[in-house]
Structure 1
């Protein structure tokens, strides 16, 4: 045992020394770290606070008294299981000329990995997330410490602690906006009992008292960081979807295999990823303290590369685009981890530095012993100019909470948006006594920003009547008109004049006004506005996808509210462009009326939007249609336009099957009969592509009568290997026990290609009965090592197979080394076989430990890599063939697992571990789930999404498999990665080195500044 522990420590230490994501340099003092910063000319970094005065900072927020609040954690990454926890919420104030906070007060010190924080304008109340709730903490006696705690949001998931609720932002409208992070599942309950259910990346909003809870956007992977721009647009930071996203209310954004809502994913605004898997703490700079080149830019913390990235924001119509700029800050100290950024009231950039040798979950295992728990810093970055005289900061006129009202109203027009927002919220808190000064500014503002902020103060205290709104909706300023539309979107009901204004707004010549008006129509519009929205939708330029998507959401909302009117679409002839527009909208309407509309447009869909639109329309119709549209669909499928195009017909039949499964009903019998006929004809076709289509159709529709044909393909050595590999799992699926003998024969035939034997073993195991398990166990003794491992992994998927595997090893017919494979051992453990640990110990006695074997293997491959010749182009093609089925790199490949841009920064040791031992450090959201089906079959893979009555998974080949929920007997989530444990064995050793070299080349690159 001592030997095993020692070797494990040695292995871990070896990885730590070479992994660039584990700093090998010593911890530096704040003064020493400060010297490692590289900033543009004229900028300097000042230390605001550090350990031991603060812990490890996570989120920052300013209050109306000019104080900086910070949540910090020493518990991370493991939530405390004991009360009280040890994490803190602290308040920093009395900042000196050198930036130092001369006063630091601990407001609460019994928190559990607190992230999101928002001080409310009162100065005595603050909202903070602490596992598993959002609390209102209150200082009732004025001593600067919380003595009252109230839950306002409960039920927040925390299985993944690097992606929890964070980045609370109090918006123009008085709502609080927040991010919900990666992998966690939450049923959040507000103080008024309202609930929302969130899974992994999402954003949501609520009122400061915890009422009104509602989803805002859906998707993204792990949003961490949120900021508003002056027009009221909301942006988030993320690392595995897009580094910066401009949120369109109600939109769905891409994630790991999660679906969109039928309207497509919300548009992107950035084409680069700063070569990182850890981007966070987004903030937008408008102030004049920094030079012009640093205004209207986004600053973004990059905790993997120890940098602060910068992107200039330009626009095509209403659609923002992020242009990559040179890094704003680089640190030569890899312990620098900028997790949150805020522009302060003084115009400086404040940085929460989680200062740590290690930061990530993906990059370094959670269990790594090298995590620092003592150090944390907050920095202020200011512009001092290029001479000896510092550039003065444009500070606020007065403290927002206590200063003269006229001075605070003056600050509503301050160039720094942070000041404007603090002043606005403080005035709202003061109540109606401020209205005379606010209304004076509204009537005669110093600039458009003061008028906008004053508009919101007045609205939140005493809603503006039509007379007061008229000059705002008719303003020559596009920014003011934009906010006027947003203001109307937040009202529960609209007057006739207000309804006319948002109709006019959606036709506004300025696309940002039109997009905000679309949001208002989405929230409170009616069908009478559909023509105006449709006409604007049809005229949006192709380079403004944000406006187009917002208008599509508005049309979808109108269709849902006026189902009868929507159902009449297509009863009268429509121009093709309108047909296409309404078809796109119908795909997002999950009601029978959408199927009715699509049934009328079927004949035109392919000519309007290509085959993809036709197939999506067919699937949607099958899922939501009642008898009449289904009959129309069946009739259409039998017209010459469809029957003359086999590919189109097969695609339509598969789409009908998917839609029927999602709805939880059987495929119409007339369609099933047609599918059986087409599948049989296709399997007999000499055309290979058509054969493959027939194979997929027979499997999707489960045409049992096709089993003999498919078995013939799978066992025919004259067929291509690709054909046979595709046929084998279908053969098992359709044949069940009838396929056992033929599959077993393939496994044992030494003259069959090894990939065929492996796929046959996996197919045989999926049948999941004693006959199949015994056949596999009998084959393992004579199988080569790679195949033996595949058989062992396959057997370990079920209790019957696991028992057969142990019995075979005990009888001396297979090597006990198979039980040392991490994936095999973990699968057996999850089967809960009796006396398993004792049996494994007996069967592996005297063998080198699994860690010794892995260390030996890593050493062999490391040494081989150093001396091998490497071809990057070959490596790229091997990635496309073997990895791109699940991973995206450089925009190519599927996005089932994590995207791999910048993966070379992980270094050789970590990449060796990822490939050779993929289950050593697998994220909770990316683990294999095994399903036992009612027919006895076993299916496993990565769960991508659940839609209606089906679960969609990605199998080991990266293909999507749809499982009807009513056929699932049980499901078990494993600790294993869905990445095949023996993936490296599927490559020759030279191929392995080519691939490794290509991956190591994928490192952060210097940005090329874009021209404005």
Structure 2
């Protein structure tokens, strides 16, 4: 018998005579199995695209498993499995490829797989598929491939099957069973009008909208299979042959993100699915007004759960402490507490004294629970942060930073000295906070998000600008210095001097490089020195036990109120040392993170599987601050309030009818210690202060932080070859590149010319950016020898447009005269650009790389290329890049082409083109005049632009008011008039069109829109009435970070957007449509705050009441 027939027989036998696999008896995390490498990969080598497996299946920083879709194939377990409960949670990404670029996003899981790899069409194994496709999640597909010699591997099952309108098989409980050996069995609610097009959604689909999370479950019990999608059973099969096998996770032309991929023993997975989880959260007890009465401290203690071998104890409660937000111990070991009793709106009656205070607590009977309090300082303005200093305390308040000291021994502060002034936050959630001693001997503070110009109290003329930056104070000199980063409430240092901090939606940020590094080289292009090292915004995950959904920024299983971040620096629980803990009072919880090296930076890894380090089912429990005590215990301040969000962020009617200070006469401080240990007694006056955090020395970095140690050493290096060696060795580390650029002023060309060959071996965004930055910096420095060194790079493989040469050419866009050899090479390379751009068969990465080079040409030479690209089918990213190129030219020159394009442009392109005209006063006026004549509809102009041009006086203002009308100044009245829309059922599909017309340029919902304004990840659990108020009266309250600015440039543009970062040399402006632009201050003619968000008043002119109902239905996912 020939060998192929023997193999075929073995494959055939494997379906019915597989060696019995063991049932799953413990949880198996398949993502960890993939990480371990105990898997096999297969990608069809004959497909129109087939990236390497390592590029298709990757793990992101946040731990999610990303499937690029750039191929057809799978990652397979090596082991066979049977009798299990499979759980996968996934969401679609934004990218599709090749022949499925415009088709429904497609993927799947192959179950009971057996036989040769790629037996089915060179792509799949013989198996039963749990289909994952838009509109068809939960379909069953039976794959029975035929081998090359004609042998068929027969997979079979039976199911209760009916036929739909189009005679397709569909599962229907109770119908007669039929045996199936190939083909598809539709899930029970599959739309009969299903079409293979991207974004398809059927009327009865149970899967979440694209961009939101889904859960697919498969219960394999004996020879049966049951499929569940988001908690609903959608398909079932019997008599499965085989009833065991490998499990394969596919890639099929669409980007998909997986956050969970697990096997459980039968009967052990009991988690319910909820709409909250689709937005990224957990299955929690969602209530409206919830718990209406406080619990006693003892009752509340019983409601606390701690993850690990730890327990909670009571340290102090009301009346000793009321609304505690910070604890600290002075050099004598005395315990001080900041009681922020003014939260949220200050004293109840105008003119009354401030209510905040500092309490000094003592434990008189030694039982570990405080039983005496002395008010150290009273009538303070929103006291929030405390730090021991010089025998007294530094205290942060709403409007100033103070030093307080008891000089006569009566335990009351008789010396109250202002240190720093100039703070004027819009509300108390935005005030300066978190005073902490740093390794440099200075006191570091969180900006609070609203601090801009501050000064020493004894030297008002020495104003220091700190917009967008934390800052430090030197106690010896009184000097104030920006430090970069922008923390809100909560910050701390670890043993090695790493500074961490948080803000509402950003649980863990880290200052990667010193602020002064950003200033050393003005041509290094560095605009910020910090980064988020944990998932932030909508990508965060929290798992509360209970939550009240009445806050304006309703919680949907994501962080919305990160505060009081702390680092555990004690020795009592050594396993927690240098872990970072982030309270979120909205969810009554504290999240634990482990910090790990990540090149020059760090990364935070969440500890705890679908749980929290600390969480409470007492809805009034509001943990707001984490501190390590001198006894090694953890201390958590619990402000204990019914309503924790600031009153400004609740609907106006809600505030009128509810006591926003409810709980003001309560407060708890909890201690976390090893379970079952002795009850610890806090350090008392006169005891050894060795355990005090502010007295602990900082240590040198350990060996595992070698890359970071090298990074911090870079500022001491001067040799170009040594710097180039670091860039070569760490070519894909953006922070190494930034730090190297910061010390390379005057020699950026020399450094580039010394890069090793391995730097050029492969493309990455970081390498490309490094080349552009260093090349442009060399030209900006203007040193002839450095430019000459840079140009030697062009001699490497002359005439070949390799991946790195376009990046280099972008940096050389303004090459001075006198470099004839280089100019000849540049001309030769430029001559190939047009051919590459217009070649649809050329790799998209190469087309995108060379397109920006056209910006160096005159508009008349570029116009035909731009017109061709925008009037013919192109990949979406190339269209986006073409519009970005268009924006680099004067609107007065490009306007004729834009007017020519507009009538035929689709909605997305139209949204990009119109703002080019409206950003320039001259072309905006011309556009408005054309609209007045009826040439173009006024609906094309976004609401923010309408509002901007209606301000002031003159021809433009008069015309804008005529075209668009004026907003009703009675915003509360407008909201009231629309509240009926909140009560009516709307049409979500129509609401999607409203969103696409009005909201898409600033907000992202699912896969629609861009993230410029506040995220919408939490709206699904928000009361409809609150949504109406947010949409029609968006400027009644907002955080400083969402404040819009108008920037008039020296080249005649008028831009508006949000300032994302700023330095003394430049700002980064985020504008509608998702465009970001770094503007040197020398290019800014005028910049002013608009004292509102990018979302203007007056949207009622663009949204009818019926459309409001539809929009709310869409936002809430109805």
| Shorter-chain TM-score tier | 0.5 to 0.7
User: Given that residues 952 and 961 in structure 1 are in contact (C-alpha distance below 8 angstroms), is that contact kept between their aligned partners in structure 2?
Assistant: yes
Match of 1:446 in 2: none
Match of 2:863 in 1: 679
Q: 5 Å matches for 1:104-253? A: 104-120=373-389, 124-172=391-439, 174-189=441-456, 196-200=464-468, 202-209=469-476, 211=478, 213-216=480-483, 218-220=484-486, 222-240=487-505, 242-250=506-514
Match of 1:341 in 2: 626
Q: 5 Å matches for 1:337-486? A: 337-361=622-646, 364-365=649-650, 368=655, 370-372=659-661, 374-383=664-673, 385=675, 390-392=676-678, 403=688, 419=691, 421=693, 424=695, 453=697, 482=701
Q: Could you give the per-residue CA deviations for residues 505-547 of structure 1, whole angstroms, max 9, x where no partner exists?
A: xxxxx3414423532443xx1414x6556545543597xx5xx
The partner residue of 2:1039 within 923, 929, 933 is: 923
SS at match of 1:819: coil
Q: Could you give the per-residue CA deviations for residues 562-591 of structure 1, whole angstroms, max 9, x where no partner exists?
A: x3x555335668536188696377389696
Relative to structure 1, the CA distance from residue 915 to residue 67 in structure 2 (aligned partners, 3 Å threshold; closer, same or farther) is same
Q: 5 Å matches for 1:267-346? A: 268-271=532-535, 272-273=539-540, 274=542, 275-285=558-568, 287=570, 289=572, 297-315=579-597, 319-325=602-608, 326-346=611-631
Greater alpha carbon shift after TM alignment, 946-955 vs 22-31: 946-955
SS at match of 1:920: coil
Relative to structure 1, the CA distance from residue 880 to residue 49 in structure 2 (aligned partners, 3 Å threshold; closer, same or farther) is farther
Match of 1:577 in 2: 759
Relative to structure 1, the CA distance from residue 649 to residue 536 in structure 2 (aligned partners, 3 Å threshold; closer, same or farther) is closer
SS at match of 2:429: coil
Q: 5 Å matches for 1:75-86? A: 75-77=342-344, 85-86=354-355
TM-score after normalising by structure 1: 0.64
Give, in angstroms, the shift of residue 118 of structure 1.
0.4
Q: 5 Å matches for 1:957-976? A: 957-959=1073-1075, 973-976=1089-1092
User: Given that residues 298 and 312 in structure 1 are in contact (C-alpha distance below 8 angstroms), is that contact kept between their aligned partners in structure 2?
Assistant: yes
Give, in angstroms, the shift of residue 203 of structure 1.
3.2
Match of 2:142 in 1: none
Match of 1:858 in 2: 979
Give, in angstroms, the shift of residue 372 of structure 1.
1.0
Structure 2: how far apart are the matches of 1:655 and 1:205?
43
Relative to structure 1, the CA distance from residue 775 to residue 187 in structure 2 (aligned partners, 3 Å threshold; closer, same or farther) is closer
Greater alpha carbon shift after TM alignment, 949-958 vs 335-344: 949-958
SS at match of 1:119: strand
SS at match of 2:563: strand
Relative to structure 1, the CA distance from residue 119 to residue 936 in structure 2 (aligned partners, 3 Å threshold; closer, same or farther) is closer
Relative to structure 1, the CA distance from residue 234 to residue 940 in structure 2 (aligned partners, 3 Å threshold; closer, same or farther) is closer
Relative to structure 1, the CA distance from residue 735 to residue 116 in structure 2 (aligned partners, 3 Å threshold; closer, same or farther) is closer
Match of 1:736 in 2: 922
Match of 2:831 in 1: 640
Give, in angstroms, the shift of residue 178 of structure 1.
2.4
In structure 1, the gaps of 5 or more residues are: 1-17, 412-418, 426-452, 457-479, 484-509, 658-670, 780-790, 794-817, 823-849, 1003-1012
Structure 2: how far apart are the matches of 1:531 and 1:190?
48
Structure 2: how far apart are the matches of 1:725 and 1:558?
41
Relative to structure 1, the CA distance from residue 90 to residue 231 in structure 2 (aligned partners, 3 Å threshold; closer, same or farther) is same
Q: Does 1:89 align with 2:210?
A: no
Match of 1:48 in 2: 315
Give, in angstroms, the shift of residue 302 of structure 1.
0.6
Structure 2: how far apart are the matches of 1:612 and 1:118?
53
Relative to structure 1, the CA distance from residue 633 to residue 82 in structure 2 (aligned partners, 3 Å threshold; closer, same or farther) is farther
Q: Could you give the per-residue CA deviations for residues 760-815 of structure 1, whole angstroms, max 9, x where no partner exists?
A: 99499589875555556666xxxxxxxxxxx014xxxxxxxxxxxxxxxxxxxxxx
Match of 1:807 in 2: none
User: Given that residues 252 and 261 in structure 1 are in contact (C-alpha distance below 8 angstroms), is that contact kept between their aligned partners in structure 2?
Assistant: no
Structure 2: how far apart are the matches of 1:568 and 1:172?
34
User: Given that residues 165 and 178 in structure 1 are in contact (C-alpha distance below 8 angstroms), is that contact kept between their aligned partners in structure 2?
Assistant: yes
User: Given that residues 116 and 128 in structure 1 are in contact (C-alpha distance below 8 angstroms), is that contact kept between their aligned partners in structure 2?
Assistant: yes
Give, in angstroms, the shift of residue 935 of structure 1.
11
Structure 2: how far apart are the matches of 1:329 and 1:922?
30
User: Given that residues 943 and 1095 in structure 2 are in contact (C-alpha distance below 8 angstroms), is that contact kept between their aligned partners in structure 1?
Assistant: no
Structure 2: how far apart are the matches of 1:196 and 1:772?
38
Give, in angstroms, the shift of residue 342 of structure 1.
1.0
User: Given that residues 922 and 977 in structure 1 are in contact (C-alpha distance below 8 angstroms), is that contact kept between their aligned partners in structure 2?
Assistant: yes
Q: Could you give the per-residue CA deviations for residues 266-295 of structure 1, whole angstroms, max 9, x where no partner exists?
A: 554323523121011222335464595x66
Match of 2:336 in 1: 69
User: Given that residues 884 and 892 in structure 1 are in contact (C-alpha distance below 8 angstroms), is that contact kept between their aligned partners in structure 2?
Assistant: yes
Relative to structure 1, the CA distance from residue 737 to residue 711 in structure 2 (aligned partners, 3 Å threshold; closer, same or farther) is same
The partner residue of 1:518 within 690, 711, 714 is: 711
User: Given that residues 695 and 727 in structure 1 are in contact (C-alpha distance below 8 angstroms), is that contact kept between their aligned partners in structure 2?
Assistant: yes
User: Given that residues 914 and 941 in structure 2 are in contact (C-alpha distance below 8 angstroms), is that contact kept between their aligned partners in structure 1?
Assistant: no
Relative to structure 1, the CA distance from residue 958 to residue 604 in structure 2 (aligned partners, 3 Å threshold; closer, same or farther) is farther
Q: Does 1:792 align with 2:965?
A: yes
Relative to structure 1, the CA distance from residue 616 to residue 21 in structure 2 (aligned partners, 3 Å threshold; closer, same or farther) is farther
| Structure 1 or 2: more helix by fraction | 1
SS at match of 1:101: coil
Greater alpha carbon shift after TM alignment, 96-105 vs 875-884: 875-884
User: Given that residues 887 and 898 in structure 1 are in contact (C-alpha distance below 8 angstroms), is that contact kept between their aligned partners in structure 2?
Assistant: yes
Match of 1:470 in 2: none
Q: Does 1:586 align with 2:774?
A: yes
Match of 1:506 in 2: none
Give, in angstroms, the shift of residue 736 of structure 1.
3.1
User: Given that residues 248 and 266 in structure 1 are in contact (C-alpha distance below 8 angstroms), is that contact kept between their aligned partners in structure 2?
Assistant: yes
Relative to structure 1, the CA distance from residue 747 to residue 875 in structure 2 (aligned partners, 3 Å threshold; closer, same or farther) is same
| Structure 1 or 2: more strand by fraction | 2
In structure 2, the gaps of 5 or more residues are: 1-284, 543-557, 761-766, 839-845
Q: Does 1:819 align with 2:1004?
A: no
TM-score after normalising by structure 2: 0.58
SS at match of 1:204: strand
Give, in angstroms, the shift of residue 152 of structure 1.
3.4
The number of residues matched between the two structures is 776
Structure 2: how far apart are the matches of 1:719 and 1:513?
53
Q: 5 Å matches for 1:926-965? A: 926-930=1042-1046, 940-944=1056-1060, 953-959=1069-1075
Relative to structure 1, the CA distance from residue 979 to residue 637 in structure 2 (aligned partners, 3 Å threshold; closer, same or farther) is farther
User: Given that residues 940 and 955 in structure 1 are in contact (C-alpha distance below 8 angstroms), is that contact kept between their aligned partners in structure 2?
Assistant: yes
